[in-house]
Chains A and B, each alone.
Chain A
Amino acid sequence: MRFTVLILLVLLAGGCNLFSPFYDEGKSNDRDDIIGDVQAALERGEPDKAYEYASRGIEKYPGCASLYYLGAVAKVQSSDVGFTDFASMLRSENKGQGGYAAALSAFQRGLAQGDTTWFLDLSPDDLARMAGAFSVSYDYLDSVLTIIARPGGATKEEIEQFQGDSQLGLGISGLMKTMLTVLDQDHNLDNGFVLSPTIRAFRTATGGWSFTATLDPAVICGAWDWLETGQEALYDHYRTVVGGTLPEDIPTNYLYVHVEDWTDPQIDTGTLSGEFFESVHDGMVDFHGKYSCSGEVSRHE
């Protein structure tokens, strides 16, 4: 008896919870429990567990927007992808005077030029880490927005909590997935990421990395739909952020946009979302001018 009391006191003194043995986290089949498990693991700083719980939950509840969103967050956190990775993709050599968004556009233009050199602050290993994260976040966030768009597909709370970040995240993920797929050996991130042997990677004198490549138009066009889906999400995000200040003649849906006909979108670049949108759009115009990717045409017809 005294021994039991002593153990209890030691557990309590250590801040443990007396009742934690009564709930086996990650084992429940209840939808709300699974969402709670993912959220709790994320907030405890255990993103690997959170991703495992979310993946299991998605198998059981494939129509649950919360699980897809939290799963995307968990994957990105477990891969340790942060904003500085994104910034590092766009280091100063690419940036010029136009800020990160301009650098983003320059990166895309590089792709559009077909043979190019990129300067990154990321090593091939970093690219592999990001490829795993953005490939999953793209798929999951696309599912979130598909569920939200379906009448009754998501609750009001899910829409308020997840829509804004899902739009922004899908935009960034679509762009990154396209870029990384182009750099990948077999151009399929589902098989993991290995830097294509046709791409030469070397350290620069300033400590970054430089990549040179000659790109295959078929590969670029194969990734076009991801870019366009991401851009559609960025466009919706931009429209939400700027609210009622949009010009009247602006298209209501990016799917109605023929990028080759909309070279000057008159976007308010005074906002971060406008900057993101316009720079990616500029890149897509360049892409289209170079390759005339057919995926985009088929989506409009």
Chain B
Amino acid sequence: MNKLITILVLTVALGSSALARESTEIIGARYLGMGDCFIACSRDRSILFANPAALDRPDGRMFTAMGLVSSVNSKTTDVVRFALDHRKDFENVSDMSEADQNAFFDDIVNNINFKRMNLMLSIEPFGMIQRPVGGTVFSDSRATGMAFRGASGTPLVDADLRQDFGGIVGFGWGWTGLRSFLPNRLSVGASLKYIHRSIFSTRETVTELSDGEGAKMLNGTTVGLDLGLLYDINSRLCVGAAIYDAIAGDIKWKGDSTTYSRVEPGDIEKIEPALRLGVTCRLPWNVPHLSSELVAFDLNEPFDGDVSFFKKIHAGIEASVLASWFKVRMGISQGYPTVGLSVFGLTYAYYTEEEGRHAGQLPDRRHVISFGL
């Protein structure tokens, strides 16, 4: 029983220590607060991740030192709260009677059963954007962990860890009046990225966990090319598109084989291109105390038949209130509400990621903050 409790405590710790699912969180809390829209409206230091065409029209010259984005889902905070509330019980497990141990063990399992914990931390130690070029180095770490009662009631642990180190350089070009049917500003951009990725992915029963085999990360590298486009329909309305990994090398995993890893050395992770479309509009309203009102709409992977249509829809609005350094945001992402605000360089957003196949099935509520100097 002690062994099992230790395993579950470790599971809680694992979920609390790190990362795993592809998402747009690295682009920052600003856009998540406004419904996860960024294709046509990104003009800040997120350009290199969002749409390289915006390198032709950034918000001035930007240097970033210690940019940071971090997110945590509410299931993780629930589990951490449970662990903190029962800190003394965890410390005194070995002194408990067997009946108390069983009751405590039951309590743990009931509280963490199917709670998929999710953590993400992205650090951008240095970045620079000066029209029409930009570059940055970054690390992006993600972890998901979940424990649940398996097919006979005995617990299982499911964990994914992923850590990326990389760099991106990009270039944007722009023309005004290029053709008669394109009278306004057209911008295109491309960015080249190098990523060194380490992963660990496993699902283990209690008996498998008890065999003492340690976790080993597998490593791989890839180089990919992102392409972007922006076009001003008029002075307020702009449309955009980005193809991520338009050309990208597959990742071949290297490292030591482990018994329960879902990924083996020699396995190939195919990097598929992903298309995202967007439109943004600066509103002509004249509302007292509000300024810089912006409305945006994104459609993610419009031609991917594996994802239901309503999971692809994002829409949001942003406005400065009273002063340009205080912004509020709200939106709809995959059908769920999002809210956010920024004060100077600190940005917070609350949003929901759909973890099910269809919108509304399995909401995962997340908090994200981003900060940059």
**A residues touching B (Cβ–Cβ < 8 Å)?**
12-13, 15-20, 22-23, 25, 32-33, 36-37, 39-40, 42-45, 69, 72-73, 76-77, 81-88, 92, 133-134, 137, 140-141, 157, 160-161, 164-166, 168-173, 176, 237, 240-243, 271-273, 276
Given contact pairs A272-B207, A272-B210, A23 touches B151 in the complex (Cβ within 8 A): no
**B residues touching A (Cβ–Cβ < 8 Å)?**
1, 3-4, 98, 102-103, 105-106, 109-110, 113-114, 116, 148-156, 203-208, 210-211, 259-260, 262, 308, 310, 313, 332, 334-337, 352, 354-363, 365
Give B5 Cβ to nearest chain A Cβ, in Å: 11
Known contacts A134-B152, A161-B203, A165-B154; can you find 20 more A-B pairs with CB under 8 A?
A12-B332, A17-B334, A19-B335, A20-B360, A23-B360, A33-B357, A39-B356, A42-B148, A43-B116, A44-B362, A76-B151, A76-B153, A83-B206, A85-B153, A137-B152, A157-B262, A172-B152, A237-B207, A241-B211, A276-B207
30 inter-chain pairs at a CB distance below 8 angstroms, sorted by A residue, are: A15-B336, A16-B360, A37-B357, A39-B356, A40-B356, A43-B362, A73-B148, A76-B152, A77-B113, A82-B109, A83-B105, A84-B103, A84-B106, A86-B152, A86-B153, A137-B151, A141-B152, A160-B262, A165-B150, A165-B154, A168-B207, A169-B154, A172-B153, A172-B154, A173-B151, A241-B208, A243-B259, A272-B211, A273-B208, A273-B210
A271 touches B361 (CB 8 A): no
B337 touches A25 (CB 8 A): no
- Inter-chain contacts of B335 with A (CB < 8 A): 17-20
Distance between Cα atoms of A271 and B207 in the complex (Å): 7
B359 touches A17 (CB 8 A): yes
Give A95 Cβ to nearest chain B Cβ, in Å: 9
Distance between Cα atoms of A4 and B189 in the complex (Å): 41
Consensus secondary structure, chain A interface: helix
Consensus secondary structure, chain B interface: mixed
- Inter-chain contacts of B153 with A (CB < 8 A): 76, 81-83, 85-86, 133, 172
Q: Which 5 A-B pairs have the closest CB atoms?
A: A20-B360, A17-B360, A169-B151, A36-B357, A169-B152
Give A147 Cβ to nearest chain B Cβ, in Å: 14
A164 touches B203 (CB 8 A): yes
Distance between Cα atoms of A133 and B109 in the complex (Å): 18
A43 touches B352 (CB 8 A): no
Closest to B203 in A: A161
- Inter-chain contacts of B155 with A (CB < 8 A): 83
- Inter-chain contacts of A170 with B (CB < 8 A): 152
B3 touches A18 (CB 8 A): no
Give B22 Cβ to nearest chain A Cβ, in Å: 17
Distance between Cα atoms of A59 and B271 in the complex (Å): 36
A12 touches B337 (CB 8 A): yes
Given contact pairs A160-B203, A241-B211, A19 touches B149 in the complex (Cβ within 8 A): no
Give A268 Cβ to nearest chain B Cβ, in Å: 10
B358 touches A25 (CB 8 A): yes
Interface centre among B102, B336, B361 (most CB of A within 10 A): B361
Given contact pairs A166-B151, A172-B154, A82 touches B106 in the complex (Cβ within 8 A): yes
Closest to B267 in A: A156
- Inter-chain contacts of A276 with B (CB < 8 A): 207
- Inter-chain contacts of B152 with A (CB < 8 A): 76, 81, 86, 134, 137, 141, 165, 168-173, 176
Closest to A134 in B: B152
Given contact pairs A88-B102, A161-B203, A73 touches B150 in the complex (Cβ within 8 A): yes
Give A148 Cβ to nearest chain B Cβ, in Å: 13
Given contact pairs A18-B335, A73-B150, A84 touches B105 in the complex (Cβ within 8 A): yes
Interface centre among B98, B105, B204, B358 (most CB of A within 10 A): B358
Interchain CB contact (< 8 A) of B207 among A37, A84, A241: A241
Interchain CB contact (< 8 A) of B337 among A15, A77, A137: A15
Closest to B354 in A: A17
Closest to A92 in B: B98
- Inter-chain contacts of B205 with A (CB < 8 A): 164-165, 168, 237
Give A155 Cβ to nearest chain B Cβ, in Å: 12
- Inter-chain contacts of A86 with B (CB < 8 A): 152-154
B151 touches A69 (CB 8 A): yes
- Inter-chain contacts of B358 with A (CB < 8 A): 22-23, 25, 33, 36
- Inter-chain contacts of A161 with B (CB < 8 A): 203, 262
Give B113 Cβ to nearest chain A Cβ, in Å: 8
- Inter-chain contacts of B204 with A (CB < 8 A): 164
A72 touches B151 (CB 8 A): yes
